[in-house]
Amino acid sequence: MRARVPEFRLGNVLATSFTGTLTERRGNPVERIPTPQRLIDWLAVNGLAVESCTAAQLELARELRESIHAAATAAALQEPLPAPAIQVINDRSAQGRAAAVLTPEGDRQWRLSSASCVEDALSVIAADAISIIAGERDGKLALCASPTCQAAFFDTSQSRTRRWCDMNTCGNRHKKARFIANQRKNSSPA
Ligand SMILES: [Zn+2]
């Protein structure tokens, strides 16, 4: 029997899609990059294809992920950013040699220095995190309203009132729970 691997949650912000590879942090956490191969898969769907990944590189990736999560959470709460998280994000950002390149179609892509350079890919993610935490981009960091999630996400809605990291999962679960609660209320004897 083939082991079931958790699906990815794909948002349109690279850094918070990356932190979304660990979900339900306040409940029963789901690790969505449990193996180097799954990190390779995740990077591929996010335009950062690498050919190989070692266990040590996966560790680096997870360390960066948790650092971005910690810094983004502090930023969302308007608290001071944790120094160790800043250190990791800056180290990863500085140690990559990815180049932004323009395709003939006018799209931006990333070119890594070698096909196995996970560090280059991580530097792109770290730089993306820096741009949202520094408030350079149009949007606002917020925390998911689901008590078992509380993921930091980047709200780019016009009103900046998004409550869920992901409408298809946390948002939907809330909607369903409310629906069931209402049904119970309506069916219980007066
Ligand atoms: Zn959530």
**Structure confidence at residue 9 (pLDDT):** 82
* Ligand 1 geometric centre to CA of 173 (Å): 10
pLDDT of res. 5: 78
Q: How far is the CA of 61 from the centre of ligand 1 (A)?
A: 21
Q: What is the pLDDT of residue 142?
A: 96
Q: Which residues of the chain have pLDDT under 70?
A: 1-3, 188-190
Distance 27 CA to ligand 1 centre (A): 11
Q: Are 176 and 163 in contact (CB under 8 A)?
A: no
CA 137 to chain centre: 16
Q: What is the pLDDT of residue 30?
A: 94
Ordered domains of the chain (ranges, CATH): 14-187 (1.10.3300.10)
Task: Look at residue 3 in the predicted model and tell me its pLDDT.
Answer: 60
* 33 φ, ψ (degrees, to nearest 5): -125, 70
Structure tokens at 28: 């029963």
Instruction: Using the mean position of ligand 1's atoms as its centre, give its distance from the Cα of residue 134 in Å.
Output: 22
Residue 19: its pLDDT value, please?
97
DSSP 59-72: HHHHHHHHHHHHHH
In the Cβ-directed half-sphere of 119, how many Cα atoms lie within 13 Å?
11
State in Å: Cα 54 to ligand 1 middle: 29
CA of 165 to the centre of ligand 1 (A): 4
Structure tokens at 130: 């820096």
Report the pLDDT value the prediction gives residue 174, as an integer from 0 to 100.
75
41-65: pLDDT as tens digits: 999 999 999 999 999 999 999 999 9
Residue 97 CA, ligand 1 centroid: distance in Å: 32
Neighbours of ion ligand 1 (CB under 5 A): 144, 146, 149, 151, 165, 170
Rounded to the nearest whole angstrom, what is the distance from the C-alpha of residue 150 to the centroid of ligand 1? 6
